[in-house]
Structure 1
Amino acid sequence: MAIPIVEEAIRVLSEPLQRPISELGLLQQSLLFAELSKISYYRPDIVWDAIDSVGFEHYEYFDEDGAQAYIFANQFDCVVVCRGTEPNEWNDIKADVNALAVVAETAGRVHLGFKCEVDDLWPRLERALKQNEKTLWFAGHSLGGAMATICAGRCKLSEIPANPEALFTFGSPRVGDNRYINFVKLAHYRWVNNNDVVCRVPPPWLGYRHAGREMYFNAFGKLRKYRPWRRWRDRWYGFFMSLKQWKIDHLSDHAITLYIDSIQQAIHEEQTGKIRPVQKDKPT
């Protein structure tokens, strides 16, 4: 589901962390987790420079049968970032297309392909998290967002000492049915970029529903809250604008780099008073 990330010169927009993530504003948190989601696509041997510039002192890489994730940690926080689809990974492609809903470990039904990816990773990941007592966060882009959603839910059934503080997903597909998404009470910020097609699958008629609080970027990359009719019009506008550039924005809107750029733009608008301060959800 994810557009391949070219390992270009690493560009990190977040300032180095010198305090707990919980003390950052919601948009600053979102920018950090979007950047970490992009970093998760890098090879393990070049990740260190990127996370050091953000303010993390340690990382651990997990790869089980093509299912991949990182743990990034510093003195305050522990962040689990699941990697999205890589087109050359058959296991990832198989996970994306296997949309059969099966009984979940928590409640309700969950996407079989996404569940199998987490099944591969979870034993090692759980062992590592049982050693962690720092504030715990989850994030991911594309398939990685779906995996992070499932992992965060499984923490509720585990002996992991730190409950997840929040979940941040970018361009994530639907993961489960109503019972599944309502079982875990967790702050979840679900970022959607205009016509990103991955956010529309699997379809609702198969019983799948989205979880969390939607954070929507319009066709101009601006953070807005629209009624359904306005959203419909905005998506058509984005589609026709992309055709003029010989692009299909249903695919191009999925790039994690666009999420990063749009969140940075939202931070600027918030700081200059063009939009109201974006508030965090109240603890559940």
Structure 2
Amino acid sequence: MSTEFDNSWSALLNPGRATQYFNIDYPRLSLDTSAYSNSTALWLAELSRLIYRKDKNKKNKLIIPNRSEILKKVALQETRYFSQGNTAGAIVEYQQAVQFAVLVFCGTQESQGWFTNLNTLPTRWPEGGRVHRGFKKALENVWPAVETYLSTLKVPVFYTGHSLGAALATLAAARRPPQALYTFGTPRVGDAEFSKIFENIKAYRIVNHRDLIVTVPLAALGFCHVGELHYLAHDNKMLVKPNEEVVVADRKKADFTLQNSVNHSRWLDPPECLSDHAPINYVAHLERQL
């Protein structure tokens, strides 16, 4: 059974509480090209959702099933987990017929993460341009250890993440280019000069309809997006590289998922501009693209 849309506060603020993952028969991930692929996007969206799931709860009790058990069902293995300050993520590997690895960063989990998001003062990026100070600091918490492990891999490596995790994956790609970068609900990360780094990097930016987080930090502050836009419209169609006028017009239209959600009391749910940011709704949309 395919993943259902979930427009609840829990899906938005506590995505790691979900227990069902990889709900459909996922197609084999193709590594022949770094061009955009719906199947690759789906794999990486689900990993970006799963990384929110913790191994222990606040009472230090094990959460069942854990990430390793979930990944094992689809022949994946979490070979490295890193966590420092408010930055967390993992490297996941597939080592059967087709070998690849994924560097996946976790999005905002605790209050510290929101301070990271709000620390928007631009700061110099060594490879060129200026970037969001909070995002840069968050990546620097773990980058030495991450880069050391990446240097040992001899297989194609994809980078991904949702929200704050997407911003960190973008910065990581600017440091060490991947096979391809897929981001979900990413905020803006750097300025126009920084974006030039991505002229030769395969980067794909997936945006779900009215997702508010993709509009910050404001362009008026000098921030801009990177990567090829793949926009999930109100009727679930995927629009590739739509212009701004098309996106603005579509964001005014009601989302069909409001009638296809597991929630029935819309007045208790977050507004659509927030519920569209929930990781599960990215996954649900991308399953339907296949």
Which letter maps to 2:224? R
Q: Following TM superposition, by how much is the alpha carbon of 1:233 offset from its aligned partner in structure 2, in angstroms?
A: 2.4
Contact 2:232 2:238 in 1 (8 A): yes
8 Å CA contact 1:15–1:54 kept in 2: the answer is no
Partner amino acid, structure 2, of 1:219: H
Gaps of 5+ in 1: 156-162, 268-284
Residue 143 in structure 1 maps to residue 164 in structure 2? yes
2:233 and 2:30 map into 1 onto residues whose CA distance is: 31
C-alpha displacement at 1:7, in angstroms?
Answer: 2.1
Corresponding residue number in structure 1 for 2:20: 10
Q: Secondary structure at the match of 1:237?
A: coil
Select the residue among 220, 224, 245 that pairs with 1:229. 245
Greater fraction of residues in helix: 1
* Post-superposition CA distance 1:129-188 (Å, at most 9, x none): 121111111000000000000011111xxxxxxx51000000000000011011132111
User: Which aligned pairs between 1:58-77 and structure 2 lie closer than 5 A?
Assistant: 58-75=78-95, 76-77=99-100
Aligned residue for 2:81, secondary structure, equals: strand
Match runs of 1:6-85 below 5 Å: 6-13=16-23, 15=25, 21-22=31-32, 26-44=37-55, 46-75=66-95, 76-85=99-108
Correspondence for 2:201:
186
Q: What secondary structure is seen at the aligned counterpart in 2 of 1:236?
A: coil
**Residue 122 of structure 2: aligned partner:** 101
> Equivalent residue of 2:251, what SS?
helix
State the partner residue of 1:126: 147
Q: How far 1:6 sits from its partner (Å)?
A: 4.2
Per-residue deviation, 1:99: 0.5
Say which is worse superposed, 19-28 or 91-100, in terms of deviation. Answer: 19-28
**Is 2:29–2:40's contact at 8 Å kept on the other side of the alignment?**
no
**Does 2:262 correspond to 1:248?**
no
- Please give the alpha-carbon distance, in whole angstroms, between the structure 1 residues aligned to 2:32 and 2:104: 17
Q: 1:107 to 1:4 in 2, by over 3 A?
A: same
Between 101-110 and 180-189, report the one with greater CA deviation: 180-189
What is the alpha-carbon distance in structure 2 between the residues aligned to residue 198 and residue 241 of structure 1? Answer: 19
8 Å Cα contact 2:16/2:49 also seen in 1: no
Paired letter, 2:253:
Y
1:208 to 223, 235, 246: 223
Instruction: Read off the aligned partner of 1:57 and give its amino acid letter.
Output: Q
SS state at 1:238 partner? coil
- Larger RCO: Structure 1 or Structure 2 (Cα < 8 Å, ≥ 6 residues apart)? 2
Q: Which residue of 2 is the match for residue 259 of structure 1?
A: 282
* Unmatched tracts of structure 2, length 5 or more: 1-11, 56-61, 259-264
Taking structure 1 as reference, are residues 217 and 241 closer, same or farther at Cα in structure 2, changes over 3 Å only? closer
Query: 1:230 deviation in Å?
Result: 3.3
- Measure how far apart 1:90 and its partner are: 3.2
Q: 1:16 to 1:192 in 2, by over 3 A?
A: closer
2:214 aligns to what? 199
TM-score normalised by L of structure 1: 0.83
Is structure 2 residue 134 aligned with structure 1 residue 113? yes
For residues 77 and 143 of structure 2, the distance between their equivalents in structure 1, rounded to whole angstroms, comes to 23
- C-alpha distance in structure 2 between counterparts of 1:241 and 1:255, whole Å: 13
Shift of 1:23: 6.7
The one-letter amino acid paired with 2:48 is: S
On the 8 A contact 1:174/1:208 being kept in 2, the answer is yes
> What is the percent sequence identity of the aligned residues?
29
SS at match of 1:42: coil
Report the residue type matching 2:252 in the other structure: W
The farther-off stretch of 131-140 and 220-229 is: 220-229
State the match for 1:272 in structure 2: none
